[in-house]
Structure 1
Amino acid sequence: MRELKVGLHIPQIGATATPGVVEGFARAAEEAGFDSLWVFDHVVLPREQRTPYPSSDDGKIGYPHTSNLLEPLMLLPFVAAVTSRIAIGTSVLVLPMRQPVLHAKMLATLDHLSNGRLIAGLGTGWWKEEFEVLGVPFEHRGRRMDESIELMQALWRDEYADFHGEFFHCEGWACNPKPVNGRIPIWIGGESPSQLRRVGRYADAWHAGARTLPNVPQLFEVAREAAAKAGRDASRLQLTLEGAAFLRGASMERTAETLTSVAGIGVDHAIAILDRAEYGEQGEATIRLFGERYLPAIHAL
Structure 2
Amino acid sequence: MTPLKFGLTLPNRGVLFGVETMADLLDMGQEADESGLFRSLWVGDSILAKRRPESVSLLSALAARTKKVRLAVGCMASFPVRHPVLLAAQWATLDQIAGPGRALLAACIGGEGGGGDWQMENDAFGVPQGERIGRMVEGIKALKALWTQERATFEGKYYSFKDIISEPRPVTKPRPAIWIAANPRPSRNADMATNVKRATERITRHADGWMTTWLTPADFRDRWELLRSSLREVGRDADGFDNTLYYNVNINEDREAAAAESKKFLDAYYSFDISRPRLDIWVAYGPPEEVIGKVREFADAGAKEITFRITSFEQRRQYQRLVKEILPAFERVAVA
Shift of 1:270: 0.8
Q: Does 1:40 align with 2:72?
A: no
**Are 2:62 and 1:79 aligned?**
yes
Distance in 1 (alpha carbons) for counterparts of 2:74 and 2:221: 20
- Could you tell me the TM-score, scaled by structure 1's length? 0.83
Query: Which residue of structure 2 lines up, in the alignment, with residue 109 of structure 1?
Result: 93
Change beyond 3 A, Cα 1:253–1:184: farther
Determine the C-alpha separation between the residues in 1 that align with 2:130 and 2:80. Answer: 10
In structure 2, the residue matched to 1:120 is 105
Would you say the 8 A contact 2:84–2:139 is kept in 1?
Answer: yes
TM score, norm. by length of structure 2: 0.75
Cα 1:272–1:265, aligned 2, differ >3 Å: closer, same or farther? same
Q: Are 2:19 and 1:16 equivalent residues in the alignment?
A: yes
Secondary structure, counterpart of 1:208 in structure 2: strand
Once the two structures are superposed, what CA deviation does each residue of 1:267-300 show, in whole Å capped at 9, x if it has no partner? 1111111123112xxx1x5434533454344243
Cα gap change, 1:212 to 1:185, in 2 (>3 Å): farther
Distance 2:252 2:234 in 1: 45
User: Identity of counterpart residues, as a percentage?
Assistant: 28
Q: What secondary structure sits across from 1:151 in the alignment?
A: helix
Shift, 1:36, TM fit: 1.2
Q: Is the 8 A contact 1:208 1:242 kept in 2?
A: yes
SS at match of 2:215: helix
Q: 2:29 aligns with which of 26, 30, 33?
A: 26
Consecutive unaligned residues in structure 1, runs of 5 or more: 46-64
Separation in 2, partners of 1:174, 1:297: 49
Contact 1:123–1:189 under 8 Å retained in 2: yes
More RCO (CA 8 Å, sep 6+): 1
The one of 139, 148, 163 equivalent to 2:154 is 163
Provide the residue aligned with 2:297 in structure 1.
261
> CA–CA distance in 2 between the matches of 1:287 and 1:30?
13
Aligned-partner Cα distance in 2 for 1:136–1:27: 37
Which one-letter code corresponds to 1:287 in the other structure?
Answer: Y
SS in 2 for 1:150: helix
Distance 1:162 1:41 in 2: 28
Residues 79-108 of structure 1, C-alpha deviation per residue, up to 9 Å, x if partnerless?
222222111101100211211111111111
The 2-side partners of 1:93 and 1:261 are apart by 27
1:77-226 alignment to 2 at 5 Å? Answer: 77-94=60-77, 95-116=79-100, 117-127=102-112, 128=114, 129=119, 130-182=121-173, 183-190=175-182, 191=184, 192=195, 193-226=197-230
Matched AA of 1:28: E
* Paired residue secondary structure (1:242): strand
Match of 1:271 among 307, 319, 324: 307
Taking the aligned partners of 1:76 and 1:249, their CA distance within structure 2 comes to 30
Instruction: Find the counterpart in structure 2 of residue 227 from structure 1.
Output: 231
Relative to structure 1, is the Cα distance of residues 26 and 228 closer, same or farther in structure 2, using a 3 angstrom cutoff?
A: same
**Aligned counterparts, 1:283-294, within 5 A:** 283=316, 285-294=317-326
Counting helix residues as a fraction of each chain, which structure ranks higher? 2
Q: How far apart, CA to CA, are the structure 1 residues paired with 2:34 and 2:250?
A: 17
Q: Secondary structure at the match of 1:163?
A: strand
1:212 Cα offset (Å): 4.8
SS in 2 for 1:211: coil
Which SS does the other structure have where 2:212 is aligned?
Answer: strand
C-alpha separation in 2, matches of 1:24 and 1:254: 29
Corresponding residue SS for 1:175: coil
* Equivalent position amino acid for 2:177 in 1: P
2:23 & 2:252 partners in 1: Cα distance?
A: 21
CA positional deviation for 1:160: 1.6
Structure 2 alignment gaps of length 5 or more: 185-194, 254-286
The answer (yes or no) to whether the contact 2:251–2:322 under 8 Å persists in 1 is: no
Cα 1:177–1:249, aligned 2, differ >3 Å: closer, same or farther?
farther
